[in-house]
Amino acid sequence: MLALMWSGCYLPARMKPCCFLGLLLATTSLALAQDDSLKLDDLIQRSQQWLQENVDQNVIESLPQLDQEKVQQLFRDLQARFQGDYVFDLAALKETAVAVLPLLEASEATQPYAEWLRTRLDYLEVADEFRLSLPPPKVEPGQPLTPSPNPSPDLERKAWQKQVAKGPHPPWAVEYAERLKPLFAAQGVPTQLVWIAEVESSFHPNARSPAGAVGLFQLMPSTTRWLGLALRPKDERIEPVKSAEAAAKFLKYLYGRFQDWPLVMAAYNAGESHVRSLLDRHQAKTFDQISTRLPAETQMYVPRIDATLQRREGVTLSQLQAPHA
């Protein structure tokens, strides 16, 4: 998903405030567990704002009421934890996501959200493996519990190589991968980057995120307009050719800004300004130097892209060539 635009889902008008508060209280012990300074009022305010900004209300209301609550709660928690600081926080959502996925698959209206969620189950599984395999932080008597440090970039790369190696070849990739490579070549972008679509959508053209990203390459509305695609009367992001052309154009632009493919992928996911500010603040030049300070999703996204390219094309991000005119 592109960058700094993660939001959430709309709270149906018929859901009473007390029900909303109850849902929040039920997840407070899970959501942002590493942040003891987060006050309940802050959590409520952030969640209300997030719920009001995104996700088609009619789509969510196509689910039964109980299912709506499960789906909305998961979307809220995913939003908070993907954009949070700690990879380990994602592990607690694994079982809930697996339970919610069939609810989304059962309705034609919510099927695009199911495609998006299914593609992201690997993040939760890898986070859970980290939680089980890495030692917890030492607790000094009389001292507050400190969060576990995020996995290093090397650990992330090893974990994602293992995860991607056991995953099946996306069925839809057979139809789209080779067909779309010439569109990347036309922009002067390495054709191997067509496999971003596996990480973003498993090559499902209709995949839709709760934040409103759509298509093979999960383009957000503002990015889509900037790249010259139309959202109305027909959303051109669901057209594989136009989506691929726009993604390739955006990748070429980002490479011009960062001159480094791992940083380009970090910016594709977390936002150009976010990555630039971290590089400047820490006087850094590489993804590895800022990795553990990026949002949790981005910390995992870049090594996942790297492992996917190795699996599908036998190259790493660092081995890709610069774009040509």
Average the pLDDT over 132-158 and give the result. 80
Indicate if the pLDDT at residue 104 is higher than 60.
yes
The mean pLDDT value of the chain amounts to: 83
| CATH number given to 153-319 | 1.10.530.10
Q: Which of 274 and 138 is assigned the larger pLDDT?
A: 274
Q: What is the pLDDT of residue 264?
A: 98
Indicate the domain borders of the chain.
17-133, 153-319
Q: What does the block give as tokens for 130? A: 């980290």
Average the pLDDT over 261-290 and give the result. 98
Confidence band of 165 (pLDDT split at 50, 70, 90): very high
* CA pair distance 257, 276, nearest whole angstrom: 9
Q: What does the block give as tokens for 221? A: 């509305």
* CA pair distance 30, 216, nearest whole angstrom: 31
> What is the model's pTM?
0.80
Indicate if the pLDDT at residue 31 is higher than 50.
no
Residues with Cβ within 8 Å of residue 178, at least 6 apart in sequence: none
Average the pLDDT over 60-76 and give the result. 75
Q: What is the pLDDT of residue 13?
A: 34
Q: What is the pLDDT of residue 23?
A: 35
Please write the tens of the pLDDT for every residue from 167-211.
899 999 999 999 999 999 999 999 999 999 999 999 999 999 998
Average the pLDDT over 254-264 and give the result. 98
Please write the tens of the pLDDT for every residue from 43-56.
445 544 544 555 55
Q: How far is CA 98 from the centre of its chain?
A: 17
- Give bridge partners of residue 214 from the DSSP assignment: 208, 219
* CA pair distance 110, 55, nearest whole angstrom: 11
Q: Which of 176, 150, 173, 16 is nearest to 90 (CA)?
A: 150
DSSP character string of 92-139: GGHHHHHHHHHHHHTSTTTHHHHHHHHHHHHHHHHHHHHHHHSPPPP-
* CA pair distance 195, 119, nearest whole angstrom: 13
Longest dimension (CA), the chain: 62
